[in-house]
């Protein structure tokens, strides 16, 4: 082998050694990245568990709130009916009182007319 062949061999060995070092470095980086991804996935799994618990709690609370709203609406319907009955009774009482007052005023006018007739007479 001549010098030129030796230089090429040494150059190829140097390139090969750099590639091995680069491969080892890249392998370590990939392993580190995989470890961090595993940690991230574990945290995501924990987050998903917590989110599922929150969703379950919210579903339960929404159900309870809807039940209370239904009960409140039912009570309000009963109150509305009672208020309508009360309004109708108030209207009837007002009409009765006007009729009563009108009748009394009519009677008072008649009595006044008789008294005035006696005094004039």
Beta carbons within 8 Å of 1's beta carbon, 6+ residues apart:
9
- Split the chain (121 residues) into runs of 10 and give each run's mean pLDDT: 84 91 89 95 97 97 96 92 92 89 83 89 73
**Tokens found for residue 63:** 């159900």
- Which pLDDT belongs to residue 99? 85
Planar angle of CA 115, 117, 121, nearest 5 degrees: 120
- Which pLDDT belongs to residue 58? 97
CA distance 113 to 108: 8
Q: What is the pTM of this model?
A: 0.48
Give the CA dihedral 104, 109, 111, 114, nearest 10 degrees: -160
- Which pLDDT belongs to residue 1? 63
CA distance 26 to 33: 10
Torsional class of 5: left (φ above 0), alpha (ψ -120 to 50), beta (otherwise): alpha
CA distance 38 to 26: 18
């Amino acid at each position: 082998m001549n010098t030129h062949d030796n230089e090429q061999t040494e150059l190829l060995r140097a390139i090969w050694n750099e590639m091995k070092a680069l491969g080892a470095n890249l392998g370590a980086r990939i392993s580190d990245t995989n470890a961090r991804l595993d940690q991230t996935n574990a945290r995501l799994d924990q987050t998903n568990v917590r989110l599922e618990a929150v969703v379950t709690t919210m579903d339960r609370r929404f159900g309870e709130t809807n039940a209370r709203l239904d009960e409140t609406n039912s009570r309000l319907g009963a109150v509305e009916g009672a208020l309508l009955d009360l309004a109708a009774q108030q209207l009837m009482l007002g009409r009765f009182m006007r009729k009563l007052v009108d009748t009394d005023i009519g009677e008072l006018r008649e009595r006044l007319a008789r008294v005035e007739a006696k005094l004039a007479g």
